[in-house]
Amino acid sequence: MSCLQLIINPGSTSTKLAIYDGTEKKLQYSLDHNKEDLLKFEKIGDQVPYRLALIRDFMAQNNIKPTDLSAVVGRGGLVFGLTTGGYVVDDNLCTALVDHRYSQPHASNLGGLLAKQIADEAGIPAFIYDAVTSGDLSPVAKITGMPDIQRRSFCHVLNSRAMAIRYAREQGKTIEDMNLIVMHLGGGCSACVLEHGRIIDSVGDDDGHFSPERAGSFPSLALVPLCFSGKYTEKELLKKIRGRGGMYAYLGTSDAREIEKRIHEGDKQAETIYRAEAYQISKTIGMLSVVLDGKYDAIILTGGMAYSKMLTDWIRERVGFIAPVVVMAGENEMEALAQGGLRILSGQEQANVYHFPERM
């Protein structure tokens, strides 16, 4: 029985699309967008008609009608108050995706909005799955030390849980049988604790270790004077924290392959920064290890930077005493979205319904 899904993964300058029939990827394509075209739109939600027209062209060129589909799955946006798994894209969720009382503005917010537009034409469901902001943090885990700021779950949930599900299956178990720490190593690095499938704590790309393009956390008393120094605008400072921070700020590149090449050629500064990256990532894993009293089945290293054996070996040396370290390199966002949608359609999982949070 055919189970055709359209997968929509919007980024800041592209929209990745894929068609899956069950677990089989039939085709995948990336629609690149002109930055000048996107600058015409004041708000993220205003981009929907523009991107929707391009998606329709893609479908027409490949002879795909909305009525051929069983579901449309979009990348989850930065919506507050989500738990892990899938959500039906209904009117409440669409409101939250564009209302900044309930979400942070981000291109991924378009995933659910675009999915619903196409799904509604055919009377089929639209879902988002494992959004970046999804999790089940306890009241204790949300405390920051500053009442004005509350910690929220924020990590690369989609790939992290997909790799956790795959690892559990390889062990002849389910994700509900295991306790895991998953570290996603990408342009931004984030980590989470999975207790029987639920994310009960996480470290985002701005509140822990630095990464290829993110500055991570640093002494806050030193940051405050910098904010008011007049040396940088708010936009410039935010860029130094996310986008031009981390390894890029020290070495002028965020490419791990280039950095390893420099190390092999004797660049001591490159080696120091790369070792510091591994050191800080290991500290984050060590910090999260206490969440479940050190009782973990494995530590999973995933994401594009997990292809770096130099980096993963350095991490393994430091944290291997906590639990076995498993490297599952790469990013599998489209596959993870398709598999999530398929689990919902097959009845293995039940899609959640979004409710506006009582307290933000």
User: Residues 277-308: pLDDT tens digits?
Assistant: 999 999 999 999 999 999 999 999 999 999 99
Does residue 114 register a pLDDT over 60?
A: yes
How far lies 289's CA from each of 154, 211, 283, 285, in Å? Answer: 18, 20, 10, 6
Helix (H) / strand (E) element for 250: namely helix 246-251
Percentage of residues of the chain with pLDDT beyond 70:
99
Q: What does the block give as tokens for 64?
A: 């795909």
Does residue 145 register a pLDDT over 70?
A: yes
Say what the pLDDT of residue 331 is. 85
Say what the pLDDT of residue 1 is. 55
Percentage of residues of the chain with pLDDT beyond 90:
88
Say what the pLDDT of residue 359 is. 54
Q: Is 6 helix (H, G, I), strand (E, B) or coil?
A: strand
* CA end-to-end span of the chain: 44
The whole-number average pLDDT for the span 156-165 is: 95
Distance from C-alpha of 336 to C-alpha of 327, rounded to nearest angstrom: 17
Does residue 73 register a pLDDT over 90?
A: yes
What is the rounded average pLDDT for all residues in the chain?
A: 94
pLDDT bucket at 207, cuts 50 / 70 / 90: confident
The whole-number average pLDDT for the span 64-75 is: 96
Does residue 358 register a pLDDT over 80?
A: no
Domains of the chain (ranges, CATH numbers): 4-134+334-345 (3.30.420.40), 157-329 (3.30.420.40)
Does residue 360 register a pLDDT over 70?
A: no
**How many other β-carbons are positioned within 10 Å of the β-carbon of residue 271?**
16
pLDDT bucket at 343, cuts 50 / 70 / 90: very high
Does residue 39 register a pLDDT over 90?
A: no
Say what the pLDDT of residue 34 is. 87
The whole-number average pLDDT for the span 154-171 is: 95
Distance from C-alpha of 316 to C-alpha of 202, rounded to nearest angstrom: 20
pLDDT bucket at 233, cuts 50 / 70 / 90: very high
Say what the pLDDT of residue 51 is. 96
Say what the pLDDT of residue 176 is. 96
The whole-number average pLDDT for the span 119-130 is: 97
In terms of Cα–Cα distance, which of 66, 113, 70, 122 is closest to 92?
113
Does residue 2 register a pLDDT over 80?
A: no
